[in-house]
Amino acid sequence: MKIKNLKFKIKNYCEGQAPRHNSGQAALVMVFFLFFISVAATGGLASFASSELKSANTLIKSKQIRSYTEGSSEDAAYRVIVGKNVPSQFSYAEGGLSATTTATLIYDDEGNVDSVDILTDGAQANIKRKINVLMEKVYEVNFLFGGLVGSGGIFMQNTSSIFGDVHTNGSVTGNNFPVIDGNVSAVGTISDPPQVLGTKTEGAPFQEMPVPESILDGWEDEAEDGGVYSGACPYKPADGTTLGPIKIPCDVEINGTKIVTLTGKLWISGNLDVKNSAKLRLASFYGSRSEVVIAHNPADENDSGKITVQNSAQLLGSGTAGSYIMMISRNRSAEQGGDEEAIDVKNSSSASIYYAPHGKVIAQNSSQDVHLKTVVAWKLELKNSSLVEYEETLASVRIPAEKWAIGSWQEKP
């Protein structure tokens, strides 16, 4: 509040002039009036300052207890990661701060510890904080497009279609009557056809592949750690075979009406051919998690490490929503100017995720009743009535890993 500087003038009375009896009363009243205004203003400011100080102290305490609660959660998470013993419940206290952490083990269908739920309750006086951390042995892959394609670009023809958003670091071309029901972005150009029912963005930023090469290497190591096949080649598993984790150092053929169940990571150092009415599926204990099959021959990355899925062969998840088999080819022929196809999907074959970051994926003659969910490739070609139909659950594909990692970290009310 701004108070004006009031000036008072006291008259000098001339000789013989009697002073007025109320001449000083008005000035005195004004002095008292200003005094009470000053007191009121000072009291208001003091009250405001006190309120602000109280709020500031509350904020400081809130930050202190949040930091203290996070510290206790981090301690439990660290113990899980490095393999130390984690008590089912433990507490910390310091001054007016306290935090109690409860660790709950969650088991899979085989009795193995699948995840650890860490819940920490922190308090300081009447201020409370609660943090929940979920530790998992999983690696999360985010597939955000129906098709994510490298510099080789996308070519569509006939009545092929993609339902979902698409990005390429190259260009999009086509002929006949292909359709993309979604948004399309390209570093290069987008032709017509294909018909695009969403927005078109040319000159879009470059997109990296969602899985680093180091992770792919690690998955191969995990498969090999489970054992190496030493039987006759090419390997033709019998009906009812369970596979994984394992490395097979030669070609693999799954045909006829055989059903092969995947129980861990599979690394094939050769080519994979799944055909006729054969099925490769995940064991039910995977639940909503997914798994990988990798075809990669480090000694011949141009002519080997290829995957063919044909006829009415099917590659299936565990039966739980969000569970997929991720078919990975590390063949590099297309990226290096060759004609070899890393992944070839023919007839009415199906799988959820096809991944060839350095190679070409071609899908042709697919029935629209059985279709692909997402494709990641250096180059993509869709023919005939082949269909890619994106599912929202692909935005978070969870693949088992050997090491613990933080699956989620959130503050709860």
For residue 263, which of 278, 285, 235 has the smallest C-alpha distance? 285
What is residue 194's predicted lDDT score, i.e. its pLDDT? Answer: 98
Omega before 178 cis (within 30°)?
no
pTM, two decimal places? 0.77
Half-sphere exposure (Cβ direction) of 227: Cα atoms closer than 13 Å: 9
Provide the pLDDT confidence category of residue 112 given band limits of 50, 70 and 90. confident
Provide the token pair at 333.
């022929």
Share of the chain above pLDDT 70, in %: 83
Distance, in Å, from the CA atom of 223 to the CA atom of 295, rounded to the nearest integer, reads 12
DSSP state of 286: G
- Per-residue pLDDT band for 137 (boundaries 50, 70, 90) equals confident
Concatenated DSSP letters of 10-62: -PPPPTTPPPPTTTTHHHHHHHHHHHHHHHHHHHHHHHHHHHHHHHHHHHHHH
Give ∠ CA 134-136-137 in degrees, rounded to 5. Answer: 170
| Token pair in block for residue 249 | 């150092």
Give the other-Cβ count within 10 Å of 15's Cβ.
4
Is 50 exceeded by the pLDDT of residue 8? no
Write the DSSP string, 98-156: EEEEEEEEEE-TTS-EEEEEEEEEEEETTEEEEEEEEEEEEEEE----SEEEEEEEEEE
Q: Which two tokens stand for residue 45?
A: 């400011």
Q: Which residues contact 372 (CB under 8 A, 6 or more apart)?
A: 345, 350, 351, 352, 354, 363, 366, 386, 387, 388, 389
Residues whose CB is less than 8 angstroms from the CB of residue 359 and which lie 6 or more positions away in sequence, other chains included: 329, 330, 331, 332, 333, 334, 335, 340, 341, 342, 343, 377, 378, 379
Please answer whether residues 246 and 266 qualify as being in contact, where contact means their C-beta atoms are separated by less than 8 angstroms.
yes
pLDDT tens across 289-328, in order?
999 999 999 999 999 999 999 988 999 999 999 999 999 9
Query: What are the φ and ψ backbone dihedral angles of 379, each rounded to 5 degrees?
Result: -145, 140
Q: Given pLDDT bands bounded at 50, 70 and 90, which one contains residue 12?
A: very low
User: CA of 264: how far to CAs of 207, 290, 390, 401, in Å?
Assistant: 30, 10, 25, 10
| Residue 6: predicted pLDDT | 40
Residue 275 and residue 339: Cα distance in Å, rounded?
22
Domain spanning 59-140+403-412: CATH 3.30.1300.30: yes
Buried b (16+ CB within 10 A) or exposed e, 33-42: eeeeeeeeee
Tens digit of each residue's pLDDT (9 = 90 or more) over 327-386: 999 999 999 999 999 999 987 766 679 999 999 999 987 555 446 899 999 999 999 989
Q: Domain locations in the chain?
A: 59-140+403-412, 143-394
Indicate the residue type of 265: K
